[in-house]
């Protein structure tokens, strides 16, 4: 059985006090109504990681960062290293999000390097892939995700790959309210699994969770989670309210 995961990407939202309040509300809901099947992860901005760690001390919710810099340390003004993230108590980091690819011009080499430093520092990785609308319309979806996975995961050992989760996030579905239909998502997830099978040995394809991301909401989560190759979600907008995030977790608990 693959690990099921509901992760929240807070993006550039929430000050420290807002983050503490939100994560406390989430933890309270989960205390009353525990998630037994899904691992729950929140990814607040860097500035709130230590605060979130304090609030989550006795909770099963895990947390992570949304990015890191692909060097161990050095004169890189304004950047944050894997070791710094790890020192906050974080276990996870999102790498290769389409907003990083698009606004900060992160390419496959940069992403591969970032995954490497994350793993070297014992951070688990949520590695994002996905096509733009233009690419989908040109029938390029599979070529795009193949290239992203092949380069992004290049050079990692079987042991390292166990600490990586893929998030398929079609760019046209992120923050747009337009979700991929369960079938559209399932098609790409199944393809990703076939690809993992071709690229790596030892059943990695059957073990690696593949999350779906892109306008996941309480209303559409169930249909997505019912698909055989969808192992959970990376949620943006709907994770900024404890209530809607909890409803998505509950859908997972029902389906998985």
The footprint of ligand PGA (CB under 6 A) covers 9, 169, 174-175, 213-216, 234-238
H helices of 33-107, where?
A: 49-55, 82-86, 98-103
Burial of 66: CB neighbours in 10 Å, binned 0-12, 13-18, 19+: buried
Looking at the Cβ atoms of 215 and 251, the one nearer to ligand PGA is 215
Q: How far is the CB of 158 from ligand PGA (least distance, A)?
A: 27
In whole angstroms, give the CA distance from residue 180 to residue 214.
Answer: 7
Options 62, 106, 169, 246, the catalytic residue: 169
Q: What is the distance between the terminal CA atoms of the chain, rounded to a whole angstrom? A: 10
Is residue 86 helix, strand or coil?
A: helix
Say how far apart CA 64 and CA 42 lie, in whole Å.
Answer: 6
User: Based on CB atoms, which residue is closest to ligand PGA, 8 or 70?
Assistant: 8
Q: Based on the residue annotation, tell me whether 189 is a catalytic residue of this protein.
A: no
Write phi, then psi, for 132 (nearest 5 degrees).
-85, 170
Using CB positions, name the residue nearest to ligand PGA: 236
Cβ-based nearer residue to ligand PGA, 64 or 213: 213
> What three-state secondary structure class fits 201?
coil
62 vs 169, which CB is nearer to ligand PGA?
A: 169
CB 205, min distance to ligand PGA, A: 23
Q: What is the DSSP string of 224-247?
A: HHTSTT--EEEESGGGSSHHHHHH
Enumerate the active-site residues: 97, 169
């Amino acid at each position: 059985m693959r690990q099921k995961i509901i992760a929240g990407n807070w993006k550039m939202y929430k000050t420290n006090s807002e983050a503490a309040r939100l994560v406390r509300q989430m933890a309270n809901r989960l205390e009353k109504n525990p998630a037994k099947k899904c691992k729950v992860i929140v990814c607040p901005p860097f500035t709130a990681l230590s605060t979130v760690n304090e609030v989550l001390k006795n909770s099963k919710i895990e947390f992570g960062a949304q990015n890191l810099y692909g060097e161990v340390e050095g004169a890189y003004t304004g950047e944050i290293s894997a070791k710094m993230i790890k020192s906050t108590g974080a276990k996870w980091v999102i790498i290769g999000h389409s907003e990083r690819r698009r606004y900060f011009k992160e390419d496959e080499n940069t992403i591969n390097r970032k995954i490497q430093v994350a793993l070297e520092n014992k951070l688990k990785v949520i590695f994002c892939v996905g096509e733009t609308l233009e690419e989908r319309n040109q029938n390029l979806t599979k070529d795009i995700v193949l290239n992203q996975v092949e380069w992004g995961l290049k050079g990692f050992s079987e042991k390292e790959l166990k600490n990586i989760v893929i998030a398929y996030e079609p760019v046209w579905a992120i923050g747009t309210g337009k979700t991929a239909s369960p079938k559209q998502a399932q098609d790409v997830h199944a393809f990703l699994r076939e690809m993992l099978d071709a690229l790596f040995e030892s059943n990695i394809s059957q073990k690696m969770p593949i999350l779906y991301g892109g306008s996941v909401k309480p209303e559409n989560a169930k249909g997505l989670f019912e698909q055989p190759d969808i192992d959970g979600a990376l949620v943006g907008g709907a994770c900024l309210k404890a209530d809607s995030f909890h409803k998505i977790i509950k859908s997972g608990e029902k389906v998985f």
